[in-house]
Chains A and B, each alone.
Chain A
Amino acid sequence: MLKHVRSLGQVGVQSIQSIGRAGMLFTQSVTWGGPGSAGFLDLIRQIHSVGVRSLSIIIVAGFFVGMVLALQGYNILVKFGSVSALGTMVSLTLLRELGPVLAALLFAGRAGSALTAEIGLMKATEQLSAMEMMGVDPLKRVITPRLWAGVISVPILALLFSTVGIWGGAFVAVDMLGLYDGAYWSNMANTVEFYEDVVQGLIKAAVFGVVVTWIAVYQGYDAAPTSEGIGKATTQTVVISSLAILGLDFMLTAVMLGGV
């Protein structure tokens, strides 16, 4: 019995220590400059690797999600005779919620796990230690550009996700179900507010971008330098960042709507 209580306490202490290490990693790597700091080119390279290479999954997923939203929405709204609100429904759902959340979830699975595995393997093969011994700070050289690449990429990916989703919705509603395209687009244009809908969605996406990339680089940097350790860290990245995205989404929505 006492053993179980003790192990519970140990888990608690370990998670607090882990949060502390993650915080230190963040504060040390969020700013540019320092021994052997990364350059602008490194940032561009990382944006290409985490952002541009996530484009295909984001675009395909966005299109399908938009199509499903339109299909489901049409079948509900038609019962109330308000199918003309379909454009509004699809666009608001995507811009406020699904765009940022799903783009961030996909990003965590596609790019976050890759970041963790890459950094973990660099650690396991002593590339990070070798860098340190050459007088180059791996936090500044390796972590900083990756962190910023994620922070910059996720809002752009989320916006693309929503845009493609709205097109997907139009494809189903207008081209397949025969909704008048003026109703789809003009109702959308009348109801979607730039600040309340688009910008707030982007703020969410930016927060998710910071959190997901932070978790990914931390898990990689803190991974046990063995194949098992890296596998575990990669899984942790996806699990923790997915939960963090969904939890933060609720909190951000509550703050933004001012309803709670």
Chain B
Amino acid sequence: MSDNNNHVEVKDVTFYRGKRKIYDGLNVAFPRGKITAIMGPSGTGKTTLLRMIGGQLKADSGEVLVDGSNVGTMSRGDLFELRKNKMGMLFQTSGLFTDLNVFDNVAFPLRTHTDLPDDMIRDLVLMKLEAVGLRGARDLFPAELSGGMVRRVALARSIAMDPELIMYDEPFTGLDPISMGMILRLIRGLNEALGLTSLLVSHDVEESCQIADYLCIVSGGKVIGFGTPDELRNGDNAEVRQFLNGDPDGPVPFHYPADDYRADLFAGEA
């Protein structure tokens, strides 16, 4: 059985996208009730990792365990049951239904999955909207909202069914500083109030370090660093330090692999 302190465990996972190897023997465990930020250079498959945990992508080999059960080998019915009761996910583009208003978007999972009477659904939806500060925007449509508001509505919707695990895919991208501050506060606040396990995919080192209990740095298909922000900053892994400090050159080279520069330039004259 799995260690009870770990909500999600990824064991020896290999994943190919087409012919490109994204993950090669990935091992990582995400502790229960904590915020873990998954970080790494673009294109390393951070979103892919979230999608594997959510069961939307299947690993080519290895196991992804959520609460001890293997997401990859679960039946379709069990997988939907797991997502319905235990998981929430906030997508990069939010995925709000454009034909429904804010209220109906948040009510969607409740109406679909429960037989609660209308007035109780109304109360629940208003509570979730109040938590993200958008109770007053309930009649607006997604097209009428700003980027930050869209993300807050999506957040309210993903906690509508009170999940135990919530995954955020690039929640800070494209937000102004005020909206960013709101989202940061919400992620932290929700985690504390509801005891959620939160996984956060982000590039924003500063913001992630502010709220994350642990950082998980992924590069080249493997986890190259896992620990608290302070541990990693003061650690001895040069690549991790380069990433956290944002140095343009270092173990991760500035140049894409190429032939010798001088030889390449002269080759044009031949």
What is the size, in residues, of chain A's interface with B at 8 Å between Cβ atoms? 16
10 A–B contacts, CB within 8 A, in A order: A35-B80, A35-B84, A126-B95, A127-B98, A128-B95, A134-B158, A134-B161, A135-B83, A135-B161, A137-B76
Contacts of A36 in B (CB 8 A): 80, 84, 112-113
Known A130-B96, A132-B80; further 5 A-B contacts with Cβ < 8 A = A132-B54, A133-B88, A133-B89, A136-B80, A136-B112
Please report the C-alpha to C-alpha distance between residue A127 and residue B97 in the assembled complex, in whole angstroms: 6
* CB nearest to A121 among chain B residues: B98
Please report the C-alpha to C-alpha distance between residue A121 and residue B95 in the assembled complex, in whole angstroms: 11
**In the assembled complex, A17 has its CB within 8 A of some CB on chain B:** no
User: Do A134 and B108 touch (CB < 8 A)?
Assistant: yes
User: Contact flags (1/0) for A129-148 with B, using CB distance below 8 Å?
Assistant: 11111111100010000000
Please report the C-alpha to C-alpha distance between residue A125 and residue B87 in the assembled complex, in whole angstroms: 20
User: Do A125 and B84 touch (CB < 8 A)?
Assistant: no
Contacts of B158 in A (CB 8 A): 133-134
B194-245 at interface with A (beta carbon < 8 Å): none
The 8 closest A-B pairs by CB, nearest first: A135-B84, A130-B95, A35-B80, A126-B95, A133-B89, A135-B83, A126-B91, A36-B112
**In the assembled complex, B56 has its CB within 8 A of some CB on chain A:** yes
- Known contacts A35-B77, A36-B113, A132 near B97 by CB under 8 Å: no
Of A35, A129, A137, the residue contacting B91 (CB under 8 A) is: A129
B59-86 at interface with A (beta carbon < 8 Å): 76-77, 80-85
User: Contact flags (1/0) for B110-121 with A, using CB distance below 8 Å?
Assistant: 001100000000
* CB nearest to A225 among chain B residues: B93
Of A129, A137, A141, the residue contacting B95 (CB under 8 A) is: A129
**In the assembled complex, B94 has its CB within 8 A of some CB on chain A:** yes
User: Contact flags (1/0) for A47-71 with B, using CB distance below 8 Å?
Assistant: 0000000000000000000000000
User: Do A134 and B91 touch (CB < 8 A)?
Assistant: no
Please report the C-alpha to C-alpha distance between residue A149 and residue B268 in the assembled complex, in whole angstroms: 62
A199-227 at interface with B (beta carbon < 8 Å): none
Residues of chain A whose beta carbon lies under 8 Å from any beta carbon of chain B: 35-36, 125-137, 141
Number of A-B pairs, beta carbon distance below 8 Å: 72
- Known contacts A135-B83, A135-B109, A136-B109, A129 near B98 by CB under 8 Å: no
User: Do A125 and B93 touch (CB < 8 A)?
Assistant: yes
**In the assembled complex, B92 has its CB within 8 A of some CB on chain A:** yes
* CB nearest to B142 among chain A residues: A125
Please report the C-alpha to C-alpha distance between residue A70 and residue B74 in the assembled complex, in whole angstroms: 62
B174-198 at interface with A (beta carbon < 8 Å): none
- Known contacts A35-B80, A125-B98, A127-B98, A134 near B93 by CB under 8 Å: no
Shortest B77–chain A CB gap in Å is 7
User: Do B94 and A126 touch (CB < 8 A)?
Assistant: yes
User: Do B83 and A134 touch (CB < 8 A)?
Assistant: yes
Contacts of A130 in B (CB 8 A): 89, 91, 94-96, 154, 157
Please report the C-alpha to C-alpha distance between residue A132 and residue B157 in the assembled complex, in whole angstroms: 13
Of B89, B95, B161, the residue contacting A127 (CB under 8 A) is: B95
Shortest B45–chain A CB gap in Å is 16
User: Do B92 and A126 touch (CB < 8 A)?
Assistant: yes
* CB nearest to A139 among chain B residues: B76
User: Do A127 and B113 touch (CB < 8 A)?
Assistant: no
* CB nearest to A36 among chain B residues: B112
Shortest A36–chain B CB gap in Å is 5
Contacts of B88 in A (CB 8 A): 133-134
Shortest A154–chain B CB gap in Å is 24
* CB nearest to B169 among chain A residues: A126
Of A125, A132, A134, A141, the residue contacting B56 (CB under 8 A) is: A132
Of B81, B96, B98, B154, the residue contacting A135 (CB under 8 A) is: B81
Of A125, A132, A141, the residue contacting B83 (CB under 8 A) is: A132
